[in-house]
Amino acid sequence: MSSDSRRKYSSTVVDGAYKAPGRSMLRAVGFTDEDFKKPQIGVASTWSMVTPCNMHINVLAEEVARGADEAGGKSVIFNTITISDGIANGTEGMKYSLVSREVIADSIEAVAGCEGFDGLVAVGGCDKNMPGCLIAMARLNRPAVFVYGGTIRPGKNHTDIVSVFEAVGRHSRGDITDEELAEVEKTAIPGPGACGGMYTANTMASAIEALGMSLPDSSAQDAVSTNKMDDCRNAGAAVLNLLDLDIKPRDIMTRKAFENAITVSIALGGSTNAVLHLLAMACTVDVDLTIDDFTKIGARVPVLADLRPSGTYMMSELVAIGGIQPLMKMLLDAGLLHGDCITVTGKTLAENLAGVKPYPAGQQIIMPLDKPIKKDSHLVVLRGNLAPDGAVAKITGKEGMRFTGKARVFHSEEECLANILDGTVVAGDVLVIRYEGPRGGPGMREMLSPTSAIMGKGLGKDVALITDGRFSGGSHGFVVGHITPEAADGGLLAMVENGDTITIDAESRQLTLDVDEAEIKKRRSNWSPPAPRYTRGVLAKYAHTVRSASEGAVTDKF
């Protein structure tokens, strides 16, 4: 394929006498005469010093640019935002977290669309910027590759960010001293990289690799490593190959590819946020994916990975034994993956996995298919009168499969956390946190602070928590989120009162409020929607446009 035929978009920006002003601007940022003849490759960097997840990504973006330039393209690095869930959790600022996914997608689309890039490589390293990058790629539908920024290494004594959150609960219980809490705080985060368990970042990186939108092994590399630098350089070259082959995101992000992503997410024991983000990504490419597909696929896919938060090991330890490629090969050989899906290598998934070796003998991180940690999915979609449109639970079985208790109702995450830490919350409680949904929050905050406090207090098997908000990938315990319709939209969650009996049944997949219909009707007649919490700015716009969590909380579906 000629150079000109690969310049479908950039040629409209730089070719011809009347484009001299644009070329003049580009010369100032380093373009030469020869560069104007090359396909332009946008490199979307999520670098910032906001969070350790992204603090190294400027270096990775430069390596991507080098790979694209060496392969015959002209790279152009640009930035988008990121926020830090780990810093914002438990505060009003966390309402911007899920919102940032849309801001990131919008900003990448805007820059790439405006500047006429022929291809795109995006480097992401934290929960929202990864699906944000994929949504932008899907909207633009130009040859594109995603690069994961990589995982952090464990802190002292095998700690990570969730260790710090749970230490807060242990401290309030009196199990550790001020000095011990400070020691965990100071040593749990040793440097760059995304949170170290199978939390949302590593879950989404693995799902994206299984989807076919990143190079093999991209999801399972340490943030600071020669392997990650090689991955970046190879990604820069790979997008030029995709231009030659005319392979675009919509060719890769098919229904079968999403089924592969779901399968791998389940096998790894991944975050409930995978449900939200995969639904949103599928919506962008018009793939008909629903929360019920997670149930159908989950019935045949076991949980095989003993990874945090509910397990023992960290992502860096999975990296050391081969990452997720041997797991994918195992799943493919068992008929659980679609091997004919095309990927960003230009080859099929089966071709990519053909030479992959099995895990080393004696490793304890990934279980064999005949000895799973759980025989079916830990991601359980519940319905029932509290969630007629669905809710999502992460239940590994370690917490039990059924919980019945008395409701203790809160209208915010902060209020709930205070009651956990001061001892008000006791065994047998079902904590109800409402008006935290996509519209009601707005922004669908994660509940990592209260769930970690519950675990730190030693109440993980004795207290349940349900919400129209969502959970961090680091959350574990008997927790149910994404309840739809949300309270702000008049869902039954809004009518729950203190002392009501609530049952969570993972086997029958029901979330039930045990109150008779006459009483529910009476409560509903006395309910009125809350006033919007924000009337200006990005949160107000988000609340006005966002769809239900059961649809991925997207903002561009009209």
Six-digit token string for 545: 């446009």
Enclosing H/E stretch for 122: strand 119-124
> CA 39 to CA 37: how far, in whole Å?
7
Q: How confident is the model at residue 364 (pLDDT cuts 50, 70, 90)?
A: very high
Res 540 pLDDT > 70? yes
* Architecture category of domain 379-551 in CATH: 3-Layer(bba) Sandwich (3.50)
Above 80 in pLDDT, residue 3? Answer: no
Residue 355 has pLDDT above 50, yes or no: yes
Q: Could you tell me if 446 and 85 are in contact, meaning their C-beta atoms sit under 8 angstroms apart?
A: yes
pTM listed for this prediction: 0.97
* pLDDT at position 2: 41
Rg (CA), the chain: 23
CA atoms within 13 A on the CB side of 198: 32
Alpha-carbon distance 363 to 82, whole Å? 36
Tens digit of pLDDT for each residue in 215-240? 999 999 999 999 999 999 999 999 99
Residues noted as catalytic:
472
DSSP letter at 437?
S
Amino acid sitting at position 383: R
pLDDT in tens, 239-285: 999 999 999 999 999 999 999 999 999 999 999 999 999 999 999 99
Give 397's pLDDT tier (boundaries 50, 70, 90). confident
- Per-residue model confidence (pLDDT) at position 1: 36
Domain residue limits, the chain: 39-153+191-353, 154-190, 379-551
Check: CB of residue 439 under 8 Å from CB of residue 547. Answer: no
Residue whose pair of structure tokens reads 């991507």 in the numeric block: 64
pLDDT for 4: 75
| Interatomic CA distance for residues 397 and 391, integer angstroms | 17
pLDDT confidence band for 476 (50 / 70 / 90): confident
The one-letter amino acid at 546: V
Segment 66-94 mean pLDDT: 96
> What's the confidence (pLDDT) of residue 286?
97
Topology of domain 39-153+191-353 in CATH is Rossmann fold (3.40.50)
Q: What is the DSSP letter of 270?
A: -
